[in-house]
Structure 1
Amino acid sequence: MSVRMAPPLPLIFLIMIHGVYSADWGVRYSHSHICALKNSSVIMSCTYTYPTGHQIMNVFWTKDHLRGEEPPDLSEDPEYSQRLQYLGDKQQNRTAKLSHVTQKDEHEYYCRFTTNVTEGRWIGKPGVSLTVTDLQVESPERVTEGDSVRLTCKSSCTLTDRATFIWYRNSQPLTERRDTNNQLLLQSVRREDAGRYSCALHGHTYISPAVHLNVTYPPKNVSVFINGSAEIVEGDSVTLICSSDSNPPALNFSWFKGGTYLKYGQFYSISRISSDHSEEYKCKSINEHGEKYSDAVILNVMYPPRNVSVFITGSAEIVEGDSVTLICSSDSNPPALNFSWFKEDESLAVGSGQSFSALQSGRFYCEAHNQHGSQRSDAVTVTVKGGAAHLLVLK
């Protein structure tokens, strides 16, 4: 640093750390260089000495100015006046507090004082060099689940004030986590750790731009969804969809019916479904980190009664006066619960229920019903001859 004194007083320079002295005149700075965070406040302090008998008239901070012109007081500069505050006793020290600093404030600043002696004016050079920095998060673009990752909060210069760092994920503080260094260590990363990370200094409002941490992982939560009605009826079109949570998204899917491979692709479509398609289905999802099967899904295909038939129970030898019990059998889904019995050539039902007791000769058939339809059986003939009734099935 150097001191300039207006002639004709002789100048003697004594260079010291953070200060410059000449005989009884001198200026010392608390810091020769300050690295400050953007939008923060900066404290610049100087102390000075002057010969006995001199009186301090004015002390202020200034910056570079045109040669031959009186250095301007920063407090009178519109660019600084609203942000600069003077502290100190003015007789031996002068401290300037500059608020809301930005990169535009990067200059070298000097302490200037004048005395009651016309030539007794001093400016301490070199002065205080101010550098203003922002914060940037340095992070790998992506990590794999289970790895450890270290994020670094970087500045363009070493901050003058002792820095305590705060970390944020998706704009939320990490449980008030503060690291005395500028690094955040995430051990055994989970997919929940993915997000936008930013950092700040405790006690400051400035927050760094966010950087996205991408956590990759193999397929999880693999499941099969059925596109269409909740109830599948024979003849419907059905599409099965394989869904999984993975990063990167799975692009390889395979389908299985029971243990048999069916096809490749995320979708499996059946244009006209039948009861033959009632089976367990599952899919497999694959990405570059692994694979996983879904739980099995059963396709329950509904259909109306079919293969309806009548058969007799008990002995074929029936004594006159006994009855013949007929039972109606059918294949349907859901199982038929409603049955009607008819005697040929009669329009009205002669009975209901899955079984029917025939007390007279005739041709009888049943009709089975569920919510999807109905079907009637072939007729059987019941004949009573002498002491017995005989059953004859007519095709």
Structure 2
Amino acid sequence: MCYSVSRSVAVDLMSYNTMYFMLMWVRTAPALPLVFLLMIHGVSSDDWGVSYSPSHICALKDSTVIMNCSYSYPTGHQIKNVFWTKESVKGIIMLLDLSNDPEYSQRLQYLGDQQQNCTVRLSHVTLNDSHEYYFRFITDHPDGKWLGHPGVTLTVTDEFDLQVESPERVTEGDSVRLTCKSSCTLTDRATFIWSRNSQPLTERRDRNNELLLQSVRREDAGRYSCAVHGHHHISPDVHLNVMYPPKSVSVSISPSGVIVEGDSVTLSCSSDSNPPALNFSWFKGGTIVGSGRIYSISKISSDDSGEYKCKTINEHGEKYSDAVTLNVMYPPRSVSVLMSGSGVIVEGDSVTLSCSSDSNPPALNFSWFKENETSAVGSGQSFSALQSGRFYCQAHNQHGSQRSDAVTVTVHRGLGWHVWLGITVACVGLFIIIIIIIILYTIQKKRINCRSAAHDYENDDPRAGTYTALELKSRSPDLYNTLTTVHPRPAVLQSGSSEYENLHSKTPR
């Protein structure tokens, strides 16, 4: 029977023919109020009812459908019979038990009881199973017959749409759940297949149609889709946007080759972040020197040499890049000559001149010139000047050259150094000879003084002296004569005094 009402209706049918007649009449007659129908059967709907969950089911062809159902009736009644039925013709309920229908008998299984549960399972559904299904129960009361209307609408299809639901934005570290939904409510245990960027995924699923990403990473960002195993349907891609702070911050230098003073140089800062970093700061050493993703230096100078780094910031954090070194090349400058001594020398001597400069890379090529002369007079960082004049050096590297101011070297004519050396050696030798003479003279004088002192001692002792004189004379006439000469006889002896005679007579023979 077809009713234009929205709640369960009690139907008490006397016979199939009577029911058919009533159905036909209801189809052609104006709709009667529900209260009138209930009054006819003397049944109150307050204690009677059937509910379905869900009331609309979409199933895939060849799948299994479970129609969840529960019913209620007044206390004191006893269930005599329960069964499921369907509308055979649109708008006409035939009230046939589907378990007795050959088309359903092998596929329909009643899972309920005769108290409250009226759940049923229909397997291997076909496109012809698309109907509205009802549960009917009969009690021991004469008027206690009830049909759950409206019933469960089942739609069987082999075409359906899939769609992935995911958060629009997630932050790195969050847990993310993606759900695959179908335009057809899939009640069977269908196996869902997940893909990211068209590559199958094997992540754990809390439910069959849900994909769980725990502690999501930036690598998890991408295009996600789902499908049902055994079916060719694939959902449209849904982009998962993972937010994270700046990572992999780096600095690039343009031009990338050798940078020479006067060039224009651009430093660019790049980072991996989501959303993209919009705040950039530039540092030279520990001092901030600029802002923006690009830092430009026009007509760069050597003062701009140093280590540079950038800092990027987005709403999720900040990060510094590694430092890069900016090495500015420049030609020699501040070239000067250092002269050893005053620059005044004697002819034959030389003065050493040294050349110094500030350059990058350091100058390795030096040339020496004398003013008013076009040809170089020397090379190397040091130069020995042998003649008077004004000299200057010129320093070179691969980026240029610069000359120094000239210095004056004066050479005086005169004895050369070798002559002065000879004179010096002669003077030193003469001084040494004089010293030796003085020493020898001193030694000789000391010897003479010692001898004189000995003679004086002998003369002071008459006995010792007389004996010695006599003894010496007897042995050596010459020595006697010498002593006689050194010690002349006293006048009294020469006159032939008796004392002399006695002395002479005692002289040994």
Structure 1 and Structure 2 fold alike (TM over 0.5): yes
Count of residues in correspondence between the two structures:
304
Q: Distance in 1 between matches of 2:165 and 2:307?
A: 49
1:329 aligns with 2:353: no
Equivalent residue number for residue 248 of structure 2: 221
Equivalent residue number for residue 26 of structure 2: none
Question: TM-score w.r.t. structure 1 length?
Answer: 0.66
Which of 44, 55, 58 is the equivalent residue of 1:35? 58
Equivalent residue number for residue 144 of structure 1: 171
Equivalent residue number for residue 237 of structure 2: 210
Q: Distance in 2 between matches of 1:263 and 1:316?
A: 52
Matches within 5 A, 1:302-341: 302-313=329-340, 321-341=348-368
Q: 1:350 to 1:171 in 2, by over 3 A?
A: same
Question: TM-score w.r.t. structure 2 length?
Answer: 0.52
The code of the aligned residue for 1:290 comes to G
Aligned partners of 1:341 and 1:367 also within 8 Å: yes
Q: Distance in 2 between matches of 1:150 and 1:322?
A: 94
Structure number with higher helix proportion: 2
The Cα of 1:378 is off from its aligned counterpart by: 1.1
The code of the aligned residue for 1:189 comes to V
The Cα of 1:276 is off from its aligned counterpart by: 1.3
The Cα of 1:278 is off from its aligned counterpart by: 1.3
Which runs of 5 or more residues in structure 1 are unaligned? 3-9, 14-31, 46-62, 68-88, 111-125, 390-395
Aligned partners of 1:279 and 1:298 also within 8 Å: yes
Q: Distance in 2 between matches of 1:12 and 1:93?
A: 30
**Residues 256-293 of structure 1 deviation map (CA, whole Å, 9 limit, x = unaligned):** 22222223322222222111111222221111111112
The code of the aligned residue for 2:393 comes to C
Aligned partners of 1:166 and 1:178 also within 8 Å: no
Q: Distance in 1 between matches of 2:166 and 2:64?
A: 34
Q: Secondary structure at the match of 1:153?
A: strand
Aligned partners of 2:284 and 2:307 also within 8 Å: yes
Q: Distance in 2 between matches of 1:222 and 1:33?
A: 55
Q: 1:380 to 1:106 in 2, by over 3 A?
A: farther
Q: Secondary structure at the match of 2:336?
A: strand
Structure number with higher strand proportion: 1
Q: Distance in 1 between matches of 2:377 and 2:213?
A: 79
The Cα of 1:384 is off from its aligned counterpart by: 2.4
Equivalent residue number for residue 274 of structure 2: 247
The Cα of 1:42 is off from its aligned counterpart by: 3.5
Equivalent residue number for residue 454 of structure 2: none
1:349 aligns with 2:369: no
| Deviating more after overlay: 362-371 vs 302-311 | 362-371
Equivalent residue number for residue 197 of structure 1: 224
Equivalent residue number for residue 287 of structure 1: 314
The Cα of 1:306 is off from its aligned counterpart by: 0.4
Q: Secondary structure at the match of 1:250?
A: coil
Aligned partners of 2:57 and 2:184 also within 8 Å: no
Q: Secondary structure at the match of 2:303?
A: helix
The code of the aligned residue for 2:156 comes to L
The Cα of 1:363 is off from its aligned counterpart by: 2.2
1:130 aligns with 2:156: yes
Q: 1:106 to 1:154 in 2, by over 3 A?
A: farther
Q: Distance in 1 between matches of 2:340 and 2:208?
A: 90
Matches within 5 A, 1:249-268: 249-268=276-295
Equivalent residue number for residue 371 of structure 1: 398
Q: 1:206 to 1:290 in 2, by over 3 A?
A: same
Identity within the alignment, %:
75
Q: 1:183 to 1:257 in 2, by over 3 A?
A: same
Q: Secondary structure at the match of 1:133?
A: coil
Q: 1:355 to 1:259 in 2, by over 3 A?
A: same
Q: Secondary structure at the match of 1:42?
A: coil
Q: 1:331 to 1:286 in 2, by over 3 A?
A: same
Which of 186, 190, 202 is the equivalent residue of 1:159? 186
Aligned partners of 1:318 and 1:388 also within 8 Å: no
The Cα of 1:228 is off from its aligned counterpart by: 2.7
1:269 aligns with 2:296: yes
Q: 1:43 to 1:186 in 2, by over 3 A?
A: closer
The code of the aligned residue for 1:329 comes to S
Q: 1:383 to 1:295 in 2, by over 3 A?
A: same
The code of the aligned residue for 1:136 comes to Q
Aligned partners of 2:160 and 2:233 also within 8 Å: no
The code of the aligned residue for 1:301 comes to V
Q: Distance in 2 between matches of 1:64 and 1:316?
A: 130
The code of the aligned residue for 1:130 comes to V
The Cα of 1:154 is off from its aligned counterpart by: 1.6
**Residues 111-134 of structure 1 deviation map (CA, whole Å, 9 limit, x = unaligned):** xxxxxxxxxxxxxxx996425532
**Residues 295-329 of structure 1 deviation map (CA, whole Å, 9 limit, x = unaligned):** 22222111111001111358978676443322211
The Cα of 1:139 is off from its aligned counterpart by: 0.5
**Residues 62-120 of structure 1 deviation map (CA, whole Å, 9 limit, x = unaligned):** x97999xxxxxxxxxxxxxxxxxxxxx99x9799997xx9xxx995499xxxxxxxxxx
Aligned partners of 1:148 and 1:185 also within 8 Å: yes
The Cα of 1:160 is off from its aligned counterpart by: 3.8
Q: Distance in 2 between matches of 1:315 and 1:388?
A: 18
Equivalent residue number for residue 183 of structure 1: 210
The code of the aligned residue for 1:42 comes to D
Q: C-alpha root-mean-square deviation of aligned residues, in Å?
A: 3.9
Q: Distance in 2 between matches of 1:307 and 1:198?
A: 70
Higher relative contact order, chain-length normalized (CA < 8 Å, sep 6+): 1
**Residues 194-217 of structure 1 deviation map (CA, whole Å, 9 limit, x = unaligned):** 001111222332211111100011
